[in-house]
Amino acid sequence: MRKQALSGILGVLAAFAIGALLLALQGFNPVATYGALLQYSLFGGSGFTATLTRSVPLILTGLSASIAFASGPVNLGQPGQLVMGALGATLVGLFVHLPSVFLVPLCILASLLGGALWSGLAALLKRAFAMDEFIVTLMLNFIADYFALWVITYPLFDPSASSPMTKPISTAAWLPDMGGVNTGVLFMVLAAVVCWLIMSRGRSGYEWRMTGQNSLFARIGGCKVDANYVRVMLVTGALAGLAGGLMIMGGPHRFVKGLGANYAWDGIMIAVVANSSISGTFLYGLLFSALQQGAIGMELVTAVPSEFIDVLQAVIVLVVVAGRVSLNMVFDWLATRRKLKESVG
Amino acid sequence: MARDVLIDLRHITKVFPPDTVALSDVSVSFEAGEIHALVGENGAGKSTLMKVFYGLERRDAGDIFFRGAKVEFRTPREAIAAGIGMVHQEILLIPEYTVWQNIVLGAEPVRAFGIIDVDKAREAVRQKIEEFQFNLDPDALVGDISVAARQKVEILKLLYRKVSVLVLDEPTAVLTPQEIPQLFAELARLRDKGHTIIFISHRLDEVLTLSDRVTVMRRGKVVGTSTASELTKEDLARQMVGREVLFTSRRQPQEPGEIVFCARGLNCSDTEHRARLHDATVEVRAGEIVGVAGVEGNGQFELVNVIMGLASMTSGTLEVKGKDFTHVDILTRRTLIAFVPQDRGKMGASLVASILEDAIMTHHILDPRFGTWRGLGLDYRHAAEFVDQIRDQFTVSMGHSSDPFRSLSGGNQQKVILGRELLLETPFVLMDQPTRGLDVGSIEYVHQLLLDLRSKKRAVLLVSADLDELFMVADRIVVMCQGEVVANLATDATSREEVGYYMLGGKEAVHAETGS
Amino acid sequence: MNILFGLVSAMLVGATPILLAAIGGTFTFYAGIFNIAMEGMMLVGAFCAVLGSFFLHSWFLGILCAVAGALIMAGIFILFAVRLHTDEFLTGIALNLFAVGLTTFLLRDIFHVKGAFTNAGIRAIPAVKLPLIDGIPFLGRLLSGYNAIVYVALLATVLSAFVIFRTRFGLRLRGAGYNAACLSSSGVPASTIRIWSLIVCAICCGLAGAYLSLGYVRLFAENMSAGRGWISLAAVILVSGNPWGIAVISLLFGFFDGLTVFLQGSRIPTQFTAMIPYVATLVSLYLYSVRKRRQA
């Protein structure tokens, strides 16, 4: 645990250093840039709350990827599952008329189902036809994108809008604000806690993790590996779907073209850098959210294009992942030296 | 006959992080034109010493001298270039390639643009086969030929590169009793032609038969070097272990009880429709240990997989305690069968998981004391107590139960697995090569455990490639060959030679297979 | 008749980037590497091609830049996955994300546009008329006049089959995939072979990327590889790396890609025609698994 934290912190710092180098090469001032980043993400009235709000889809998709990667299935379909979850929430929000106390849970359920449906499709294809879910989920991402585009351009198109989007969903489904922070955050935290409970304290979480580490061992041990596979796919799909639903309900309140664009891939990235740990995903999710939120302000102040954050994030991932391995090698080398002295000296 | 010192290893030290001192100030010298055996129990350091010499591992201290000059082989390539070749315990060949492709790989004769000169390669290989009288077909696929033949390909690979020193790591581990004299004859011929042979083994009879001189290692240190003709087996064993070692069986006579396990007429094919099990029938009674002997690859692995439910059979029946197990799922089987698999890392545990996580597998489903929250949660506190129980009962030397499983030594890992499986308290226990890769102390421990199970009237099916082990603990020995059970012998009424005869399908291995 | 020519032409055009990348992927496949980073290599290749072509006023230099860019990506992959032993899968995913981020960032930073950069100053790779064949009335139209890279792709296919199955390098390459430990102990370090396979793959992906931005169209758009790198990977896995099988599969994908363009004028909504290549990939995965099951 401590090793993970150490390699994480060192890795992030090293990545920031590399980022500073890149900035300097392009003629920007690294200190001013990072300063603006910090200011606009955490301080100043809306910075902190905006960071929290933005972290919702990041952390949820990150949890989805983390659980999947730790348990075996290579679910890279969060982008598509997010879209389908958002569609589900939109459909219910547009056509079902109920008071808030019923409609909000219903929309959330619809988003869970939408995401689970999409990942379940991949799971079905794997179980029935041995089609590798890695490629299937990737292809389904593109298919979901285009499908959603069609839906908001034709059947659900808002005639009063100038670009493809749906009408706004019923206000009863809008998630309220609490002191600037969207209540979506509450749902996200709840989901994160549940995920943590399942993975560290639950029987399913134990079986899933063992299967992810050595599926033959788990199978011989009596775990129902095939049923668990489907369960993991459904749960992780539902998580990504939830991200989509919360985005609709807490954000623009309608399905807009390009919704969720990069969040899901960032979620995957977060799972990778967090080594699929739940708590790591949560923390890195907050970090990346802060970086992305701060980037907008950073661009205003220092004219560094906000896309720089994409590069910085990827560098963080590469460095932390590599650092993890190198740190192990360093520890081993240190241990060798110590043992040598003991035995010979 | 006085010989020159060819290889001189001085003060070699090697540490495996974090804690293992594999070699501690080891100094040995090997003479030209001799067969020199390096002997010790598993974990003594003999393989590590040779790997350090060969360039596969880096040493932490010490020097190596070859032909009087100080050398440092950083990779095996450098060692081979200097004329030294090593044949490893796990045969390292490419089954998808032919014999000649495997032999020339890395030293291929080429024409322009790097195109391989196939004719030249095959001819060169054929020449070498004749020169050393190895009896192989250059065009046979390595995946199709016997294990003994594959070993010859490995040796030939080195001879093709004109090595003068051959290091062989436990070469007899994969051979039947009949195939061993042939290997020894080939090695003696090589020695007579001027080659130097270093022979790593823990099998004392063979060492004394074959070698000129013997060096004994124990726990990473050299105990001594002597001439083979001046030693007895007991001397060697005492040097290896540091105390008297029993070579006789402690198995008390005992009447077996009712039939606990019965497999009848098992038939199983692989993906290419080849028969891997053919009409196999095995029975084990309570209070009985039945050993399964056979050259690896003759259906033992498939038998184990079918019993556990990992592979399906085309026909046959399985019964445990009268219950039909032919088509049940794995979990149901686990209620009555404990299983210690042959490969700890692949089937017996998750190496990256903690000791605790590996210890509670299967118990977490079958034992209600592990569940909380109506079975949704795992009681990790009870799990920790369970690990303590295993540690005490099976004398496991370990740190904290949250340490990674792979931080344990091989023997202790196996003890945890044994503890986990045996505490399931099942009537039938299936063990596949349980002592492979363990040190003598652990091996003795496992054998005692097996005998205890036997006196507690459990039924044990023990698959093992070690005939000594089978003769020590098993009441009966069944022999598998080509997927069939070809013999069912009472241990006290048979001999190693007879078992070996059946392992080869009733054919004497005078002329080696040509790969067909 | 025109429809036939149009379809064949569209087939070859659509197949080329996938074919090129997949041929590169064959080398890494045989070496035992699961190269997810092909998508990122292609994207970086496409970007660098436009960069080189625009600033250096030459499509040839653009191609060189594309290959250089892809090689840098491979270099990063080698540094992390081969030298530092990080997980290939994670490194590949991280690299792809890095590629997307970097190209988008540089698109804004260097060209000051968002979305796509197109400019008359970008020199496209020219089409090539095969000297003798062009004269033949029927065959000429079918076989000649394609973009240079199309021919490069076909040549690469033949060359790769030759190298992989007849040369010393090919024997060692496949050995690295079958049993890396055996190869290393035979005196040829498996990591060296893996590095070479990645270099070859990068060159191929760079060329594929250059084709996307300088041959197919004449612009760079964000994320323009659009999953083709993954489709190539799927193709490699489907045929277990056999170059001829890859050629067939790529033509099939090319066909579907061409169909997409073809159908854009029709009444089917563009969103559904755009799905075609991805659905086609799923269908071929399904057919492959059916075939496997039938064999068993």
Same domain, A14 and A144: no
Write out the residue range of the structural domain in which residue B393 sits.
349-423
A240 half-sphere exposure, CB direction, 13 A CA radius: 41
> Do A319 and A231 fall within a single domain?
no
Is B233 within a domain?
yes
pLDDT at A44: 64
CB contact under 8 A, B25 and A344: yes
* Average pLDDT score, chain A: 88
Reading the block at residue B515, the tokens are: 């790969």
Backbone angles phi, psi at B226, to 5 degrees: -140, 170
CB contact, 8 Å: C192 with chain B? no
* Tens-digit pLDDT profile for residues B156-208: 999 998 899 999 998 887 777 778 888 898 899 889 988 999 989 877 888 88
A141 and A237 co-located in one domain: yes
For residue C159, how many C-alpha atoms fall within 13 Å in the half-sphere facing its CB?
A: 13
Residue with tokens 């823990």: B202
Length of chain B measured in residues:
516
Instruction: Name the residue among A269, A308, A325 with its Cβ closest to that of C84.
Output: A325
Neighbours of chain C (3+ CB pairs under 8 A): A, B
The residue type at B67: R
Residue B341 lies in a domain: no
Q: Are A66 and A6 contained in the same domain?
A: no
Instruction: Verify that B228 and B372 share a domain, yes or no.
Output: no
Residue B261 belongs to a domain with what CATH number? Answer: 3.40.50.300
**Cα distance between residue A264 and residue A244, in whole Å:** 9
Q: How far is CA C182 from CA A85, A138, C174, in A?
A: 49, 35, 11
Contact indicator for A334, B15 with CB cutoff of 8 Å: no
Q: For B293-306, what is each residue's pLDDT tens digit?
A: 987 778 899 999 99
From C168, C184, C296, residue closest to B114, measured CB to CB: C168
Domain identity same for B266 and B354: no
Domain, as residue range, for A333: 1-28+304-345
Is A45 a member of any domain? no
Collect the ranges in chain A with pLDDT lower than 70.
Answer: 1-2, 44-45, 179-180, 261, 339, 342-345
In a domain, A188, yes or no: yes
Which residue in A149, A307, A321 is closest to C94 by CB distance? A321
- Residue B357: CB partners within 8 Å, gap ≥ 6? A206, A209, A210, B350, B405
pLDDT, position A42: 79
Q: Check CB contact under 8 Å for A311 and C286.
A: no
- C-chain residue closest to A304, CA distance: C109
Angle, vertex CA C281, rays to CA C276 and CA C282, nearest 5: 100
Assess if residue A50 is contained within a domain.
no
Chain C, 211 to 270: residues with Cβ < 8 Å from chain B are none
In this structure, are A122 and A185 located in the same domain?
yes
Q: Is C272 on the interface with B (CB under 8 A)?
A: no
Is position A118 within any domain? Answer: yes
B111 domain-assigned? yes
Same-domain status, A268 and A327: no
Asked if A199 and A126 sit in the same domain, the reply is yes
Residue A38 lies in a domain: no
Neighbours of chain A (3+ CB pairs under 8 A): B, C
d(CA B321, CA B262): 9
Residue of A197, A210, A343 with shortest CB distance to B24: A343
Residue A331 located in a structural domain: yes
Q: What is the pLDDT of residues B368-406, one digit of tens each?
A: 899 888 878 999 999 999 999 999 999 898 888 888 898
B327 and B467 part of one domain? yes
Pair A245, A108: CB distance under 8 Å = yes
Check whether residue B212 and residue B269 sit in a common domain.
Answer: no
Q: Is C180 on the interface with B (CB under 8 A)?
A: no
pLDDT at B509: 37
**d(Cα A69, Cα A75) in Å, to the nearest integer?**
7
A248's tokens: 């609709």
Peptide bond into B18 cis (omega under 30): yes
Amino acid B508: pLDDT = 44
Residue type, C196: W
> In this structure, which amino acid lies at residue C248?
V
Among B387, B403, B423, identify where a domain stops.
Answer: B423
**Buried b / exposed e across B351-386, counting CB within 10 Å, b at 16+?**
bebbbbbbbbbbbbbeeeebbbeeeebbbbebbbeb
Q: Which pLDDT does position A314 carry in this prediction?
A: 86
Question: Which residues in chain C are closer than 8 Å to B117, comparing Cβ atoms?
Answer: none
Question: How much is the mean pLDDT over chain C?
Answer: 87
Is A287 part of any domain? Answer: yes
Closest approach of chain A CAs to the CA of C153, in angstroms?
24
Residue A68 near residue A233 (C-beta atoms within 8 A): yes
Pairwise CA distance, residues C40 & A69, whole Å: 21
Mutation site, C18, C84, C93, C111, interface A, largest A CB count within 10 A = C93
- Cβ neighbours around A232 below 10 Å, total: 24
Q: In terms of domains, do A195 and A128 share one? A: yes
Distance CA C43, CA C210 (A): 9
Name chain A contacts of B60, Cβ cutoff 8 Å. 336, 340
| B237 and B250 in a common domain | no
Asked if residues C70 and C10 have their Cβ atoms less than 8 Å apart, the reply is no
Identify whether the C-beta of residue C201 lies closer than 8 Å to the C-beta of residue C27: yes
Residues of B in contact with C187 (CB under 8 A): 75-77, 80, 106-107
Q: Are A161 and A196 members of one domain?
A: yes
A183 three-state secondary structure: coil
* Cross-chain residue pair A335–B361, CB shorter than 8 Å: no
Q: Give the residue from B216, B241, B266 where a domain finishes.
A: B241
If you compute the radius of gyration of chain A from its CA atoms, what whole number of angstroms results?
22
Question: Which of B78, B90, B116 to mutate to probe the C interface, most C CBs <10 Å?
Answer: B116
**What pLDDT is recorded for position B240?**
76
Q: How would DSSP label each residue in B59-76? A: -SEEEEEETTEEE--SSH
Q: Is B219 helix (H, G, I), strand (E, B) or coil?
A: coil
- CA angle B162/B167/B168 to nearest 5° reads 120
Min Cα–Cα distance to chain B from A287, Å: 28
Instruction: Tell me, yes or no, if C185 comes closer than 8 A to chain B by beta carbon.
Output: yes
Using an 8 Å CB-CB cutoff, list chain C residues near A78. none
**Listed ranges B37-51, C131-145, C194-208; the one with the highest mean pLDDT:** C194-208
The CATH number covering residue A181 comes to 1.10.3470
**Do B77 and B106 belong together in one domain?**
yes
Q: Does residue B259 share a domain with residue B227?
A: no
Closest chain C residue to A326, measured at CA: C84
Give the residue on A whose Cα is nearest the Cα of B350: A214
Q: How far is B59 from chain A (nearest CA, A)?
A: 11
| Residues B251 and B142 reside in one and the same domain | no
- Among A219, A343, A344, select the one facing B330 at the smallest CB separation: A219
pLDDT of residue C156: 93
Chain B residues touching residue C174 (CB < 8 angstroms): 96
- Whether residue A163 is found in the same domain as residue A204: yes
φ, ψ of residue B239 in degrees (nearest 5): -65, -40
Q: What's the number of domains chain B is made of?
A: 3
Q: What is the SS3 string spanning chain C?
A: CHHHHHHHHHHHHHHHHHHHHHHHHHHHHHCCCCCCCHHHHHHHHHHHHHHHHHHHCCHHHHHHHHHHHHHHHHHHHHHHHHHCCCCHHHHHHHHHHHHHHHHHHHHHHHHCCCCEEECCCCCCCCECCCCCHHHCHHHHHHHCCCEHHHHHHHHHHHHHHHHHHHEHHHHHHHHHHHCHHHHHHCCCCHHHHHHHHHHHHHHHHHHHHHHHHHHHCCEEECCCCCCHHHHHHHHHHHCCCCHHHHHHHHHHHHHHHHHHHHHCCCCCCHHHHHHHHHHHHHHHHHHHHHHHHHHC
Region B258-274 average pLDDT: 86
- What residues in B contact A327, CB-CB < 8 Å? none
Is A167 found in the same domain as A143? Answer: yes
**Interface ipTM > 0.90:** no
Residue to substitute from B54, B77, B94, interface C, most C β-carbons within 10 A: B94
Average pLDDT, chain B: 87
Cβ atoms of B364 and B370 closer than 8 Å: yes
Chain segment B450-487, per-residue pLDDT in tens:
999 999 999 999 999 888 889 889 999 999 988 889 88
Closest residue, chain C, to B273 (C-alpha): C296
Task: Clarify whether residues B359 and B442 are in a common domain.
Answer: no
Burial B468-495 (b: 16+ CB within 10 A, else e): ebbbbbbbbbbbbbebbbbbebebeebe
In whole angstroms, what separates CA A187 from the centre of its chain? 14
- The residue of chain C nearest to residue A264, with distances taken between CA atoms, is C97
**B36-65 pLDDT, tens digit each:** 999 887 778 888 899 899 888 888 889 999
pLDDT of residue C239: 84
Is pLDDT larger for residue C294 or for residue B78? B78
Rounded Cα gap, residues C267 and C259, in angstroms: 14
Put simply, the answer to whether B17 touches A223 (Cβ < 8 Å) is no
Distance from CA of B95 to the nearest CA of C (A): 8
* Residues B216 and B113 grouped into a single domain: yes
Number of domains making up chain A: 2
- The one-letter code for the residue type at B466 is D
pLDDT of C128 above 90: no
Which among B86, B102, B105 is the nearest to C172, CB-wise? B105
**A91 and A230 share one domain:** yes
Where does a domain end: B371, B394, B423?
B423
Q: Cβ contact (<8 Å) for B15 and A336?
A: yes
Whether the CB-CB separation of B100 and B92 falls below 8 Å is answered with no
Which residues of C sit within 8 Å Cβ distance of A?
76, 80, 84-87, 89-91, 93-95, 97-98, 100-102, 104-105, 107-109, 226-227, 230, 233-234, 237, 269, 271-272, 274-275, 278-279, 281-282, 285-286, 289-290, 292-293
B35 and B65 part of one domain: yes
Domain assignment of residue B343, yes or no: no
Look at B141 and B251; give whichever has higher pLDDT: B141
- The pTM assigned to this predicted structure is 0.85
**Amino acid symbol at B229:** S
- Determine the Cα–Cα distance for residues C67 and B456; give it in Å rounded to an integer: 71
What's the pLDDT score for residue C207? 95
pLDDT at B243 > cutoff 70: no
